[in-house]
Amino acid sequence: MARISLAVLLTKINTLLADNSTNDITEAEMREVLTDVRDSFAHLDVTDALNTNLATKKDLAHAQLSTNTITFNKEAFFGDMTTPLVGAIGKDVTGAKLGTKVIIIHNDGASPSFDSAYQATSLSQAYVNGVPNFIECVFVRTNLILYTIYQ
């Protein structure tokens, strides 16, 4: 398998593209360039490299947590429909990332008290006692977490 430099390959492609404006590219010329591209990059095992890099990046699965201390290091659900959270809503901003969104499923006989960093958005509905309330929170900074309540 012969390798050619990227500069040579790009020159060939540019020449063919220029020729294409007059429709002078032959099938043989196109096959030659495609063969050069395939052969030049065949030595790269992209799959293993991508898998390794992806494994070290953000965990794409949402966490399902059952604590009232809300974290913002990755997207997560706190509580669920079977066991919603009750009581006060706190925070732990260790490793928090700007813009991280979490959903809290909360169902209590009274509206929860929030840590002072939490601020309701203008879209937030009133908390309804005794039914599941979905509280969407977005981390902005250590002392500002926006939240919106939905039923």
pLDDT of residue 21: 56
**Eight-state DSSP code of residue 23:** T
pLDDT of residue 145: 96
Read off the tokens for 60.
């794409």
- Strand, coil or helix: 99: coil
pLDDT of residue 101: 95
Sign of the dihedral defined by the CA atoms of residues 24, 28, 32, 34, in that order:
positive
Read off the tokens for 88.
């006060």
> pTM surpassing 0.75?
no
pLDDT digits (tens, 9 = 90+) for 43-73: 555 555 566 665 555 555 677 889 999 999 9
Dist. CA 6–CA 30, nearest whole Å? 17
> Residue 76: is its pLDDT beyond 60?
yes
Residue type at 63 in one-letter notation? A
pLDDT of residue 42: 61
pLDDT of residue 45: 54
- Strand, coil or helix: 36: helix
Cβ 98 vs Cβ 123: under 8 Å: no
pLDDT of residue 30: 67
pLDDT digits (tens, 9 = 90+) for 24-40: 666 676 677 667 666 66
Across the range 102-117, mean pLDDT stands at 96
pLDDT digits (tens, 9 = 90+) for 87-108: 999 999 999 999 999 999 999 9
Closest CA to 150 of 133, 138, 131, 129: 133
